[in-house]
Amino acid sequence: MIPYSEIEKAIDAVAEKINRDYQGKEGRNAILCILNGSILFTSELMKRSKFDAELLTMKISSYEGTTSTGIIREVIGLSGDVAGKNILIVEDIVDSGNTIEVIYNEMKAKGAAEVKVCTMLSKPGCYKKDIPLDYVALEIPDDFVVGFGLDYNELGRNYKNIYTLDK
């Protein structure tokens, strides 16, 4: 579906926008990597970043196979304090927005100074939340995809390209 060369170009473009917004930003910055799916995307963004930021992680789960359970579970809690910090949530994919809504609200409740959302992939036809997606690398149709961090039952994350799962 998306060759690695296109993924790289999209990451370059979104990293440029983030750098423009975060270089010289007042306060302490933190990049929140949502495990496991956004590890590769977060890594690539950090390699391109031109501003200081600490790295935070948390692991959220809501899928079984190709279907969202509708239940958002925090598998591994937040790895650090967000109070007073500018938080950039980095997700692999946003479809319904249920997970982003939970994470965003948690960051606000824990006292983050600012919360922005960055996603590698967005499914605009599925997204119905009011939380802005501040940085979107690529928009895709409502297909189940694997590769570049995205999985099917924990497999396929290591693929360099992104593929549509063949049912």
Active site (catalytic) residues: 95
CB atoms within 10 A of CB 163: 17
CA distance 39 to 158: 11
Q: Which two tokens stand for residue 63?
A: 């899928």
Q: Which residues contact 19 (CB under 8 A, 6 or more apart)?
A: 48, 49, 50, 51
- Give which of 41, 81, 74 is closest to 58, Cα–Cα: 74
Q: Which residues contact 124 (CB under 8 A, 6 or more apart)?
A: 139
CA dist 65 to 37, 145, 165, Å? 14, 12, 11
